[in-house]
A and B are shown apart, each in its own frame.
Chain A
Amino acid sequence: MRADLYHRLVVAALVALLAVPVLATLAYSLAGNWGATILPDSFSVRWYLQLWHDPRFLSAFGHSLLISVATLLLSTLVIVPAVFVVFYRFPALDRTMNLLILLPFAVPPVVSSVGLLQLYADGPLPLVGTPWILIGCYFTIALPFMYRTLADSLRGMNLHDLMDAAHLLGASTPRAFLLVVAPNLRTGLMASLFLSFSFLLGEFVFANILVGTRYETLQVYLYSVRMTSGHFTSAIVMSYFVFTLVLTWFATRLGKQESQA
């Protein structure tokens, strides 16, 4: 009983510790005026109203959404068939792929940004300052999430027997993939897409160095308005936090559904 109480206390303390900055930011974003007092003098939603009526914010948010969605579309079109080919035809490549997908984490974003700047600032592909370079860059960030999740789904499904059964029943390889394998990947794919989406929406280093304000994203906007008002930036952070929270909740739900299936 004592041990149980102790465990509960530790967990409660940890949750409280993690919740403090979020709750403080929430309070600050809702405070009308908060100067020399412990609690705010008044509460107001005007920072949120101001934020959601700011065309620059809406444009930056739209840019972030567009780049993230485009990246995930590209990732789905490239990675799903690639993982299938690796597992179905070249299983020995899985080890190489597992090393490759670690590279985006092994090289710090600042280092790879400098390299990308040199490569794409001019020459045949002057992509710096355009959203295209971010889509390419973000593809490498989404790759590990998507590859791992899809690989786990394929490992758990007895791929070769399913494909063999579909072939013997008259399906070509692309049809067997679309009708038999792809529906099994759907839940894993959706979970990895949501996770990647949350991650990409919060990406700052690549966006700031490679594109900056030429195609302003949410994080670059947040950075540029950080000096205007603490209440205002708190409202941005909370809006972003709620959006990400909803996405993560979706991803977790899908993950649970898959494990139950």
Chain B
Amino acid sequence: MSYVNVTGLARRFGGTTVFENVGFSLDKGEFVTLLGPSGCGKSTLLRCLAGLSRPDAGRIVVAGDDITDSVPQRRGIGMVFQNYALFPTMTVAANIGFGLRMQRLPADDIERKLATVIDLVELRGKESHYPHQLSGGQRQRVALARALVVEPRILLLDEPLSALDARIRANLREQIRDIQRRLDLTTLFVTHDQEEAMILSDRIFVMDKGKIVQADAAETVYTQPATEFVARFMGSCNLLDAAACTRLFGHGIDGHLAIRPESIELLAAAEAGADDLPATIRQHQLLGNVIRYQVESRGTVLLVDRLNRGRDDLLPRGSEVGLRIRREDMREVG
């Protein structure tokens, strides 16, 4: 029996359907990411779970309790917002302790819980600071502590890292995952960043136009995309239509053939065998540790990624090369 069960959930605004018939389940302690482009309905779905938006249909069950019609105060759900939503006139300690005060806990309990969570998010010494005196990363840790201190049954994170710079983002990402594992907290994380989703998640739910189009482990979503959208959204991908497949491999397919750029092996022309594709380098881009080549083979342009091993390794434009693609690295997508 899953810890969280969502069935047939729908949300409409006027005549616009944000999502329809969405269903999924989460296990206790699982870290799941809702991944999708802006406007796909992931944040609205999160708000429906939190009780901040009322679904038009469907049920939400957490640990056996049907919370579909419960007010946010009674759901036992913690949420971290993209823009922190810290209370500006309260200190760090007052912000974090707000939920405990609402529960009317004794002062001793509040102090004890505050001390534990402040240590957990490494904010010791900042208790009397106000939000405007903190950095972005510190503010987000206050928001996280505020959501954690009330010991929620589920933690919802709505793009919590998107307002931070890359270095702080990476640190906080690690910290969030570490805390989630330590507390064994069922967590639903919303992002449009596929790299973030792959690093953090036990499972990824990819959303497109109000539907969950694939729900799998990160590796499966990346290597075996269920749809053309997933293939495109999760990193770079060569998507070949029937005509391109016929030109390259001599047979067509119904949908598209997805091949990741890093799974294509680039060979010197002399090393290429009969099964390899002859190709010509058209362009290259330096992406740091990877060089991305645009190669043309039998009238089709393909992206090929190769580790950057230094200047001498760079293949110049116009070079004749061979392409080796293993059958297991090609995936038909609808």
Contact surface of A with B, Cβ cutoff 8 Å: 157-158, 161-162, 164-172, 175, 179-180, 183-184, 261
B88→A261 contact, CB < 8 A: yes
B52→A164 contact, CB < 8 A: yes
Q: Which 5 A-B pairs have the closest CB atoms?
A: A170-B102, A169-B99, A161-B85, A183-B89, A165-B85
Q: Map CB proximity to A onto B166-193 as digits: 1 under 8 Å, 0 otherwise.
A: 0000000000000000000000000000
A261→B132 contact, CB < 8 A: yes
Knowing A158-B83, A161-B83, A175-B102, say if A168 contacts B78 (CB, 8 Å). yes
Further contacts, 14 of them, CB under 8 A, given A170-B99, A179-B98: A158-B85, A164-B50, A165-B79, A165-B81, A165-B87, A167-B52, A167-B71, A168-B51, A168-B72, A168-B78, A169-B98, A170-B73, A179-B87, A261-B88
Please classify how large the interface on chain B is, using the bins under 10, 10 to 19, 20 to 34, 35 or more: 20 to 34
For B103, the closest partner residue in chain A by CB is: A170
For A169, the closest partner residue in chain B by CB is: B99
B77 beta carbon closer than 8 Å to chain A? yes
B150 beta carbon closer than 8 Å to chain A? yes
Q: Map CB proximity to A onto B84-105 as digits: 1 under 8 Å, 0 otherwise.
A: 0111110000000011001100
Min distance, Cβ B133 to any Cβ of chain A, angstroms: 11
A169→B150 contact, CB < 8 A: yes
Min distance, Cβ B314 to any Cβ of chain A, angstroms: 49
Interface centre among B51, B89, B103, B146 (most CB of A within 10 A): B89
Neighbouring A residues of B50 by C-beta, 8 Å: 164, 168
Contact surface of B with A, Cβ cutoff 8 Å: 50-52, 71-73, 75, 77-79, 81, 83, 85-89, 98-99, 102-103, 132, 146-147, 150
Taken together as a complex, chains A and B put the C-alpha atoms of A164 and B73 apart, in Å, by: 10
Knowing A170-B103, A171-B102, say if A180 contacts B87 (CB, 8 Å). yes
A172→B83 contact, CB < 8 A: no
Taken together as a complex, chains A and B put the C-alpha atoms of A118 and B2 apart, in Å, by: 72
Neighbouring A residues of B147 by C-beta, 8 Å: 168
Neighbouring A residues of B88 by C-beta, 8 Å: 157, 184, 261
Taken together as a complex, chains A and B put the C-alpha atoms of A206 and B147 apart, in Å, by: 54
Knowing A170-B102, A170-B150, say if A164 contacts B83 (CB, 8 Å). no
Taken together as a complex, chains A and B put the C-alpha atoms of A20 and B85 apart, in Å, by: 51
Neighbouring B residues of A170 by C-beta, 8 Å: 73, 99, 102-103, 150
Neighbouring B residues of A169 by C-beta, 8 Å: 98-99, 102, 146, 150
Taken together as a complex, chains A and B put the C-alpha atoms of A183 and B50 apart, in Å, by: 26
Taken together as a complex, chains A and B put the C-alpha atoms of A71 and B103 apart, in Å, by: 38
Taken together as a complex, chains A and B put the C-alpha atoms of A172 and B74 apart, in Å, by: 11
For B88, the closest partner residue in chain A by CB is: A184
Neighbouring B residues of A166 by C-beta, 8 Å: 87, 98
Neighbouring A residues of B79 by C-beta, 8 Å: 164-165, 168
A172→B87 contact, CB < 8 A: no
Knowing A169-B150, A170-B150, say if A162 contacts B132 (CB, 8 Å). no
